[in-house]
Structures are given as C-alpha cells and as structure tokens.
Chain A
Amino acid sequence: MPINLEDEILQDFLVEAGEILEALNEQLVELEKTPQDSELLNAIFRGFHTVKGGASFLALTNLVDVCHHSEDIFNLLRNQKISLNGEMMDVFLKVLDEVNSMFNEIKSGVDPVAVPAELMQQIVAMQKPVVSTKKARQAKVTRQQKTGDQQKKTIKSASEQFLTSTADITDEEFEVLLDNLHGAGVAPKAIKAPDDPANNDANKPVSDEEFAKLISKLDGDDKQSVAAASAETRSASAQDSITEDEFEALLDQLHGKGKAPDKVALPAQARVEAVRPAAPVASKAASNTPLAARREFTENKGETTVRVDTSRLNEIMNLVGELVLTRNRLNTLRQTFEDQRVHKAISTLDLVTADLQNAVMKTRMQPVKKVFGRFPRVVRDLARSLNKEIELELRGEETDLDKNLVEALADPLVHLVRNSVDHGIELPEIREKAGKDRQGKVVLAAEQKGDHIILTISDDGAGMDPEVLRRKAIEKGLIDMVAASRLDDKGCFDLIFLPGLTTKEQLSSVSGRGVGMDVVKTRIMQLNGQVEINSVLGKGTELHIKVPLTLAILPTLMLQLGTRKFALPLSNVSEIFELSAKKINVVDGREVILNRGRASPLFYLRKWLLKSNEAYTELQRDPHVVMVHAGNGLVGFVVDQVIGQEEVVIKPLDRLLQGLPGMAGSTITGDGHIALILDIPGLINAYS
C-alpha cells in the first residue's frame, strides 16, 4: 500500500508508535537486568501490541508480522511459559532495531522492507521449545472454530455463548481470556479497523489479538456489552480462585467497555474526542466500585494534556520575544516620563512580561529523559562489544530542558558517554587487580541550578594522567614545551578538547581518533554552555556541562564600538576592567594583557568589526577590556564602552547571512536599534 504521509491517521500512528518504540528501547535494556519483572514484560507486550494494532490498520504488513511474533513471545514470557535468556535479548534488540528502521522508512514515505528471514526464523524459533503451549494452542483452535460457527448467528448471542462455553476453563485459559480482554482495552486502533474481522478469520487460525479485536468489535456493535461483561464476571466468580489482580483486570475491562461504543461511533480521526469516555456508562461502572472511580479520576487527569505542534509554540515564543523587546524599549523610555502612573504601568508590564516569558518557556520544556533514554542501550551494546561490565545510572531524568537544547545536546552527550565507557572504565580483570568491583559504573546526571542546567557524566574508571596528556600534546605539536610546563592539572585535562589529541594508543571504531572532544566543546560553546573536567588517576573522571535553560532568550553584555552596538553572550564574559589600569605587553608580535598573574591575548574589536574608515579613528572615552572565555583560556577584547547587561531575543540572521563567521545572530535593542550578537569562538577563529 502506498504510504500517504498526509494521512492524519498515519501521523497519529507515527507519533504514538514513535513514543512506544522509544520506551521499548529502554524497557528492553531494563528487562535484561530484571528478566522476571512481570510489569515490564506486560509493558513490552502491550508496546508491541499497540504498534501492531496501528500498523495493521494502516496495512503495513511487514511491520505487523514482526510485531506480531514478538508480541507472541512476550505473551509466553509474561505467562512464564518460556523464560528469557541472553540470546533472546540479543534477538529482541535486533528486532527492535529492525522495527525502528522500518518505522523510519514509513516516516520517509516508504513501505517498510520485511525483516531478514533469518531474524524472523530466530523469533519464531523462540516459541518452539515449550511443549505446554501446544495444549493451549489446541484449545485456542477449538475456541476459534466455535467462534467461527457463531459468527453466522447474532453477534450478541455469540459473545454470550462463547462466555458460557468457557465456563469450565482452566486457570491458564482464563488468563489468556483476561489477556484478550485486556488487549481489547489497550488497542484503540484495533477497534477502528473498518474491515470486519469475521470475514477473514473464518479460514485461518485466529490469534489472540484477532480474537481480541473480535471481542472489541462485538462490544462496539452491542451497547449491552456491559451486561455481557457482567455475565462474564459471573463465569469468573464461578471460578472461585479469582485473584485480586484478575478481578482488577476485569474491572479494567468493564471500564474499557464503557468507552468502547463511543469510540467506534466516532470517525477514526477524531482521536481526541474518542478518548473522552462515554460519560453515563462510565459513571455507572464507577458507582459500582471505588476502584473504578479512582481509575476514572486518573483518566480524567490524562485529558488535561494537549498535543501542540512545535511550530505553533515557536510562533508564540517569537511573539513573546517581540513583547520582551517592546518592554525593553519602554524601560528605556521610562526616564523621559514624569508621570508616576506611567512608571507603575511599565513596572507591572515588566513583571507580567517576565512571568509570561517564563510560562511560555515552560511549554517548550522537555524532560532530559528524552536524551537520557537512549543511553542504557548505547552503554549496553558498547560494553558488550568491549567485553566490559558496566552499570549505567541515570539521575535527575525529570529535569526539564528547552526542547531545542534537548536535541542539541544529544550528540555531544552520546560522544561523552561513549568516551567514558571506552576510555574511562577498565576491563574487568584490570579493575579487579586495582581492587575495584569488576563492574564499572557510569553516572549520567542532570540538575537545574538557577537558570542553568548542569549535566554530569562521571565514571569510576581509570581517570586521566595529566602528565600523559601534557606529553601527548607536546608530541603532537599542539602546544609548545613552555606553555605545557605552565599548565596545572586542570589545564592538562582541558587539553583533551584540542583537536587532534588522543590518549589511546590504538584506534578503535568507538573512539580514539582525536576528533570529537573538540567538536563536543564547540557544540556546547555554541549553546552558550561550558565544559569542565575533573579527574583523579585511578579513581575516575567527572565531566560537567553547564548550559542555559533556554536558547531563545540570551543574557548578554551590550558593548559599543563607535556608533554600533554588539552583544556578547554573558556566559562567556569573565571580567571587565579599564584598559588603562593594566599593562599591555608585546609577546611574539602580539599584544597581551596581564591580569591576575596570567597573560591573555588582547584584541581590538574595533579593528575586526568596524569598517576600515571607522576603525582607526581615535578611541573615544575610556576603552574597557572585556575578558571572555575562549577555547581553553581567556582572551581580552578592547571595546569603546560597556553599556551593560541586557536580556535579548535572538533573531537569527537570514539565509543570505547565515553561517557568517563570528556572528551568532542579531537582536533589537531597547532603543530600537540592531545589535549583532557575537559568537566568540567563531570570531576568534575568523579574525585573529
């Protein structure tokens, strides 16, 4: 079937399944640690089931196949018919990779290619070693034949007859039944399926899910399904040995049925509306038991969220940006007003704008979990291929971060975590000799501190030797002997951010090519962030990344050069002082300034940023020096005047100017003029 990306149902599926697949990735890795966790097994089962349901509705048969078989196995797993082993884990992770790549194919509008036959065989083979399932399967077949016959009769009686026919079911079968019912509850897509499952089910074995679909279909057609369900409750109570869990599942089912007719009646696209339960029926169910009431409460809570297109949020953010600029402007004009009332009004506007800005920013926040979620898998795969034993601990996953930042941080973080696993953690034998646990530990943590987020990647591995780094850097000619001898330990660690430095003697596919750390640093600098390394030889390494909460609004230091204004990201600024107060020396033909016992290169921004006819006029007023962080040290910029701190809204340069070295964007200042926002690393690269 050709894939129509315009299709709303497909879009819904992509969003929903995308989230499920992301979760599956984490859940599978988690499962490896706790293979008996039945909740986790259920979650994975449901995950595959839901994806399959959606895929089958969209006739993505290849995707359905693989999900279907995976789901079957997890069904067996959670019913403890088979048990999980390492090989199966590997197969499942492979399966998930395949499903993910299929998913990406769908996203780009291509009908997904089938899973390699070999892998498919592996999946199917996993179901075989269990003999006891045979009986269950036979039971299934008889049941299915019965259902097939009954299709000719009325649907209502079919459901009742089926329920009575299963009055004397075994525990095992009862559980299957419950699963079916449960499946019906969680597979809204299946309910939407327009084709009558009764037609094509007749001549092929009915699987659990198809059966589930049938049941939900019955529910949909028959408003009296609640009655049917209570009949079932009767049959269940005849069973005597019903556990609390099972009872709860039944309640779930009752509740689900309350909703089902409503869902079917609505057009398939009306997803949001479909979620709204059919109030009268649901409330009837609710009055039956306090448990159901509680459940309904949680569901109502779920409705308070709305999916919003990010472009719409960006639009709002832009508008708020305009408002911030107008506020800045009013603040500047404030002095010209005599009237106290105007002052008051502007103060109020000031406060409200700040609050609004915060509130809108929050809508763009996403938990850092979005990035962290991929790491269990990354670490697991890497540790396996390197024969290391590594535990990954995630902390502060719920910390919120601007959506753009979340995306921008993903790559650098992957790189750093891979580094920790590859360079940091030693092989188990070496760790034992050093008196450590065989299993290494990598911790990935996030926390908010003021208007910044601190991300920490730490490991209890080998640590870094400052002397080795120093030697390597000299060997590769990255720094000279004199400079190297002056570095303290921290300065040595910072050397790893130089392009071309690697401490690994041998290259591997994982890391060690000496590219990467400098890219990581550049990326983080672009986000107006900072990186700091601490390491103790033999104990481990700790990396701190500090980034601002949002990218849209930037605290800057406003500067004046001639008649023009420029903005420096405030996070880069370390110190400001008058030029005349310090001594300028010339070293190697370059001017350096001595400050706090350190010599830093000194540059005249005027020469760089003003046109030649403006640049060489006499400096007016008292020129100031702004010390900024650049690369691994400080650099001094001479400016005509420091205007002060200002929060600005970044206006990206248009396509004609984008990528211009040294320019991070532009902004409109409080007085309505344009100021260019400088990108310090880029500026130094381009002009020095």
Chain B
Amino acid sequence: MSQDLGKQLQYVTFTLNKEKYGINVLQVQEVLREVEVSPVPGAPVFILGIINLRGNVVSVIDARTRFGIAAKESDDKTRIIVINLQQMMIGILVDSVAEVMNIKPGEIEAAPNAGQSTTSKYIQGLVSKDDTILILVDLDKLINFDTRSDKFAR
C-alpha cells in the first residue's frame, strides 16, 4: 500500500496539551475510547494500569506523564492508542486522536538536540505542515523495556 503512494509514510496523529504528535501507522493496531483502566500497585508512575482488550491484558502508558506534562482529567475525547511493539500490545493514553497524515521522508527534520527536556528523548523528528509542527514519536525509546532494574525501586 505504501509503495503505491511512492515513498509516502503515514502517521496517526494525536494531541497532548495542544501539541500534535505522530506515530507510524504501521505500528498502530487500534484506537479505543477510554475504557476502565485498573491501576497496578507498585508499577512505575507512567504506567496507568492494565485494561482488558478482548481477553488480553494490555498495559496502558500515560503519555502526559511520560512526556513530563501535568496530568489532566480524561474527557470524551480521551483515547487509548493500542500499538504493537516487539510483538507486544501496549496502550498509550492521549488527549485525543486527530487523523492519519501522509508525510514524505524528505519533510522530516531532525529533532533539535536542544536541552534535557523529558520530551526530546522520545522524538524521532519534526514535520512542519500547514502552520503546525508535528512531533514524530520514537516508540522504542518511549517504551523502553531495558530500564527494568531500577523501575521497581521503592
């Protein structure tokens, strides 16, 4: 499919605190309206809890906490994007999901190497389009399995 569109890439865009982010569509499995999330005692703060996705138990990450943005009450626009990463399903809680955008690889600019902000660690690149900036998220860094050892430190 993507070959038909030339070298275009497709990104699912979502918003967090009025900023627009994008995830490669190939990594997205589905988008859920918010369902009941069961918190897991002792889990890292950025993990909201687990949900029952048709019999599968899936962890949900709070994108706001992960990006260092203050938490917000969920409303009727709140969504959980279920992504498929390393053969594992993970949910990401976001403010809202907007659309699927076509992007040419040439349009992607390298992320500014500025500062230590929590967000910049998870950025793959930036795209300026229609007066807005789309931040492309590096999911592998966002959801890092290797920080296990210190993860459960109390």
A positions within 8 Å CB-CB of B: 322, 325, 564, 608-611, 651, 653-657, 659-663, 666, 668, 672-676, 686
Contact = CB atoms under 8 A, between A and B. Distances in A.
B57 A656 contact: no
Contacts of A564: 38-39
Given A322-B55, A651-B56, A674-B57, A657 B41 contact: no
Contacts of B41: 608-610, 662-663, 676
Given A653-B57, A666-B57, A676-B40, A660 B152 contact: yes
B47 interface: yes
B59 A653 contact: yes
A672 B57 CA distance: 11
Given A660-B152, A661-B152, A668-B55, A655 B42 contact: no
B148 A663 contact: no
B98 interface: no
5 contacts: A655-B145, A656-B143, A660-B43, A662-B42, A676-B38
Contacts of A674: 38, 50-52, 57
Identify the interface centre among B38, B41, B50: most chain A CB within 10 Å of its CB. Answer: B41
Nearest to B58: A654
Contacts of A653: 40, 50, 57, 59
Given A611-B39, A662-B41, A656 B52 contact: no
A81 to B, nearest CB: 58
Nearest to B42: A660
B154 interface: yes
A621 to B, nearest CB: 21
Given A657-B43, A659-B152, 12 more contacts: A608-B41, A611-B39, A654-B59, A656-B59, A657-B40, A657-B50, A661-B152, A663-B41, A663-B42, A673-B52, A674-B51, A676-B41
A663 B40 contact: yes
A666 B50 contact: yes
B130 interface: no
Interface string B61-101: 10000000000000000000000000011100000000000
Interface of B: 36, 38-43, 47, 50-52, 55-59, 61, 88-90, 143, 145, 148, 152, 154
Contacts of B50: 653, 657, 666, 674
A662 to B, nearest CB: 6
A627 to B, nearest CB: 21
A375 B30 CA distance: 52
Nearest to A608: B41
A662 B154 CA distance: 13
B38 A673 contact: yes
B20 to A, nearest CB: 26
Nearest to B148: A659
A325 B50 CA distance: 17
B38 A654 contact: no
Given A655-B88, A672-B52, A660 B57 contact: no
Nearest to A649: B55
A208 B61 CA distance: 67
B57 A668 contact: yes
A319 B140 CA distance: 30
B57 A654 contact: yes
A233 B42 CA distance: 77
A655 B42 CA distance: 15
B47 A656 contact: yes
Contacts of B55: 322, 325, 668
A636 B61 CA distance: 33
B144 to A, nearest CB: 9
B63 to A, nearest CB: 14
A526 B89 CA distance: 26
A673 B40 CA distance: 13
Contacts of B38: 564, 666, 673-676
Nearest to B37: A674
A609 B42 CA distance: 8
B52 A654 contact: no
Contact of B59 (A657, A675, A676): A657
A661 B57 contact: no
Contacts of B148: 659
A653 B57 CA distance: 7
A113 to B, nearest CB: 35
A610 B42 CA distance: 10
A323 to B, nearest CB: 10
B36 A673 contact: yes
Contacts of B57: 651, 653-654, 666, 668, 674
Nearest to B89: A654
Lowest 5 A-B CB distances belong to which pairs? A674-B38, A651-B57, A609-B41, A656-B59, A666-B57
Contact of A660 (B36, B40, B145): B40
Contacts of A609: 41
A326 to B, nearest CB: 8
B6 to A, nearest CB: 36
Given A611-B39, A674-B38, A657 B47 contact: yes
Contacts of B58: 654
B90 A654 contact: yes
Contacts of A657: 40, 43, 47, 50, 59
A610 B41 CA distance: 7
Contact of B42 (A325, A661, A673): A661
A234 B89 CA distance: 71
B145 to A, nearest CB: 5
Contacts of A325: 55
A70 B129 CA distance: 76
